[in-house]
Structure 1
Amino acid sequence: MKKKLTLPVQILIALLLGIGVGIVCYAAGLGSFTKDYLKPFGDIFVNLLKFIVVPVVLFSMIEGILSMGDMKKVGAVGWKTVAYFMVTTAIACVIGLALASVFNGAGLFPTLSAAGVTYEASEFSGFMSVLVSIFPSNMWKAFSDANMLQVIVIALFFGGSILAAGEKGRLCRDIVSSFYAVIDRLMAFIIRLSPIGVFTYMAWVVATQGAEILGSLALVILCAYLGYALHAIIVYSTAVKVFSGIGPLAFFKGAFAAMMFAFTSTSSAATLPVSKECAEQLGADRDIAAFVLPLGATINMDGTAIYQCVAAVFLAACAGMHLTLGQMVTIVLTATLSSIGTAGTPGAGMIMLTMVLTALNIPVDYIGLIVAVDRLFDMGRTCMNVTGDISCSICVTRWERKNFRR
């Protein structure tokens, strides 16, 4: 009997086939064919993931809270998770800024004119407004809008309340467990379709973005991807090795399926079901993974932070600005804070880039210079974000196990 291919291998094969088909279609001028007849199948798959992501986050987080047994452990896991994300995001900003400064200083960044390009910036309403918006006024609207921060808050309130209700909350506990078991089976079925989504999306991206890859922004894209790779290898694999004893090769092999799906789908939220499976296979406790991963998909944006730093330095060069040390510190602080507020959806990083540019007094219209290739940046930064979520769930699991032994 032939051995069945594992999901990571299936995804890798789909990725390579997608690249091959994309190159052929690009050379033959069939980019519109991939857009009209291949990409729709990828869209269907992503729609299925988006359809299931809200119930996955809601029930997995509540189940995770109930499995922990008390809110003290939830609080302990919560602050360790946020601390991990804050530290790694700050490091990501430094790596991105350092690489961008080296590339720019060596004259590798092109100096493009922003004449004729425009970008409509989304208004940032301020920190307090964002804080208020985290708390839902209508539970069903939070579900229908897939507002992940609000869904997380709802899960925290319901999970904590069920625990506080004790024996009287047993029926709700059983209902949550039953729903989660059903959602878990549905999620497993949808994940089996992921090679189709990876193949169709990869073929479409290569066939339609080939010209931009070979264009004047190639070195800017290379700088960002070098930052992504360095951060993943130096920060994530080191953290996992030090705190959990898992070697870099084993870690990346275990996280590969989620990384590749995030790379093609450009959505941390849509990748959650795959991330959860990878994290548990790497040794993360089910309850901790159920808590950390949805939170990470919402607030952990290391890849976005690197992208914002690289893009800010590049666009500053295009605007004829020479950044001072104080302005670089401003980039690190602003990129760290804005990346935390970035939604786990395609293209959200570009919206938050407006905050960084505004802090540096760079005209927001300059974003128009990189809009055409934002998809290419987005693929790498989403892959980075998801990898960070998985590494955090593994590290927090090990920290909690040590505390338990005491």
Structure 2
Amino acid sequence: MNRIINKWTESSLILKIVIGLIIGSILGVFVPNWTIIGFPGEIFVSALKAIAPILVFVLVASAISKARTGIGSRFKTVIVLYLFSTFLSAMVAIIASTLFPVTIHLSDASTAAAPGGLGEVMSNMILGIFSNPIGLISEGHYLGILFWSIVFGIALKNIASDSTKDVVTDCANAVTLIVRGIIQFAPIGIMGLVFTSVSESGLGIFVQYSQLILLLVGCIAFVAFVTDPIISAVALRRNPYPLVLTCLRESGITAFFTRSSAANIPVNMQLCERLGLDRDFFSISIPLGATINMEGAAVTITVMTLAVCHTMGISVPLPVTVVLCIISTVGACGASGVAGGSLLLIPMACSLFGIPADVSMQAVAVGFIIGVIQDSCETALNSAGDALFSATAEYHDRRVNGEPVNFLGEFAK
């Protein structure tokens, strides 16, 4: 049995995931009624979502309690990269929507409640941070978890003995080991997720909204393969594509099928470790990125808003597009704290053009229809970007300070 386990863990995870993709697709086509095949996918996502808040709390608390000086500049850099890339993604969406205008059929409105504006989004975020820490962990509210774990880590740093800090570190190592065990089941879990998607999603509705889907996916692909690499190249002053492709392969593929940035936090942390990044840094930058690095969400909000404008014949002047970029960026950063994610922020952006809520909420309904593709691509871009910009920020900091840079860590071997 040990030999079988060792062979499984030592073999290529990506190869196993590809095999799982193929098997899940075949089973979804030929035996769509065997719903039990999709059950491992639900277990896999649930396990990742369950362990991720605990992992973030103990890793951040441990990192802060033993934090070294000299890595503060990395946090400034990664925050700038997160926000700038999200803003640039909204710009890409505006340019693409202008060049290739898309209209949508607005019919069935969604009954979900959307936030009234940026003030409500920011208020929900701030009030959520100061909620019960135990409740925040159970609900997976990562801004709140980050806040309380930092506070706890600072308190440990100031009053705890070294032995107490070592206990917290041991707890972090134990949770990390559990995460590694869960990730070993990724091929089986993804097989189940692919089976569910293939067996449940009909093709007719995707033909109806094919232009909208192509525009969204095209924008997301352009950001992933053009704008993000340019940002990384400017910071690193070297070819970014080995790092970009590694992050897309190791993080983006898993995020595409889990459709959850929170569930992909453990995957990204393991990736950052293999990239040779500082654990004190990435244990904070990755959950922070899962909250504020929302490139895909900015694309979705912008494209869907402009699709409604084109459908209603509303002209969009250039100065207003800049305001739309800002609204999409700030709103996207708050998407993780709003039920329904980025789609429910579309009415907020539509209000900039005076579009009534009952009309803009119909665009939300369209978003839910194409969500199988839209949300998967959006999450893949967001999650891969978390790892990419964490690595970019640390490699940049090392280069500026004249430190040796082990570019791609274990992947360079």
Which bin holds the TM-score, normalised by the shorter protein? 0.7 to 0.9
| Closer/same/farther in 2, CA of residues 228 and 144 from structure 1, 3 Å limit | same
Instruction: Write the mapping of 1:202-217 to structure 2, written as runs, cut at 5 A.
Output: 202-212=194-204, 214-217=206-209
Q: How many positions carry a matched residue from both structures? A: 390
* Other-structure match for 1:6: 12
Aligned partner of 2:329: which letter?
Answer: T
| Closer/same/farther in 2, CA of residues 259 and 344 from structure 1, 3 Å limit | farther
* Other-structure match for 1:159: 153
Is there any run of 5+ residues in structure 2 with no aligned partner, and where? 404-413
1:345 Cα deviation after fit: 9.2
Residue 177 (structure 1) aligned with residue 174 (structure 2): no
1:134 Cα deviation after fit: 4.3
Residue 53 (structure 1) aligned with residue 59 (structure 2): no
1:100 Cα deviation after fit: 1.5
Superposition CA RMSD, Å: 2.5
| Closer/same/farther in 2, CA of residues 159 and 259 from structure 1, 3 Å limit | same
Residue 335 (structure 1) aligned with residue 328 (structure 2): yes
Please identify, of 242-251 and 88-97, the stretch whose mean Cα deviation from structure 2 is larger: 242-251
| Closer/same/farther in 2, CA of residues 201 and 148 from structure 1, 3 Å limit | same
Give 3-state SS (helix, strand or coil) of 2:260's partner: coil
* Other-structure match for 1:87: 84
User: Contact (CA 8 Å) 1:267, 1:346: kept in 2 or not?
Assistant: no
Residue 39 (structure 1) aligned with residue 38 (structure 2): yes
| Closer/same/farther in 2, CA of residues 225 and 9 from structure 1, 3 Å limit | same
Residue 259 (structure 1) aligned with residue 261 (structure 2): no
1:111 Cα deviation after fit: 4.1
| Closer/same/farther in 2, CA of residues 134 and 82 from structure 1, 3 Å limit | farther
Listed one character per residue, the Cα deviations across residues 307-349 of structure 1 (whole Å, up to 9, x for unaligned) are 1111111122223323232332232111000001111899511
Instruction: Write the mapping of 1:211-226 to structure 2, written as runs, cut at 5 A.
Output: 211-212=203-204, 214-226=206-218
* Other-structure match for 1:231: 223
Cα separation, 1, equivalents of 2:400 and 2:262: 30
1:67 Cα deviation after fit: 4.5
Match of 2:361 among 341, 356, 365: 365
Aligned partner of 1:270: which letter?
Answer: A
Is there any run of 5+ residues in structure 1 with no aligned partner, and where? none
* Other-structure match for 2:181: 189
Please identify, of 286-295 and 131-140, the stretch whose mean Cα deviation from structure 2 is larger: 131-140
Cα separation, 1, equivalents of 2:133 and 2:312: 45
Residue 141 (structure 1) aligned with residue 135 (structure 2): yes
TM-score by length of 1: 0.88
1:212 Cα deviation after fit: 4.6
Match of 2:396 among 385, 395, 399: 399
Please identify, of 392-401 and 74-83, the stretch whose mean Cα deviation from structure 2 is larger: 74-83
Listed one character per residue, the Cα deviations across residues 35-87 of structure 1 (whole Å, up to 9, x for unaligned) are x32333211111111110111111122233345324xx464333222111111
Give 3-state SS (helix, strand or coil) of 1:287's partner: helix
Aligned partner of 2:39: which letter?
Answer: P
Give 3-state SS (helix, strand or coil) of 1:370's partner: helix
| Closer/same/farther in 2, CA of residues 131 and 123 from structure 1, 3 Å limit | closer
| Closer/same/farther in 2, CA of residues 246 and 159 from structure 1, 3 Å limit | farther
Cα separation, 1, equivalents of 2:337 and 2:296: 11
Cα separation, 2, equivalents of 1:38 and 1:297: 29
User: Contact (CA 8 Å) 1:254, 1:281: kept in 2 or not?
Assistant: no
User: Contact (CA 8 Å) 1:275, 1:293: kept in 2 or not?
Assistant: yes
Please identify, of 374-383 and 202-211, the stretch whose mean Cα deviation from structure 2 is larger: 202-211
User: Contact (CA 8 Å) 2:89, 2:298: kept in 1 or not?
Assistant: yes
1:261 Cα deviation after fit: 1.0
Cα separation, 2, equivalents of 1:264 and 1:128: 29
Aligned partner of 2:197: which letter?
Answer: V
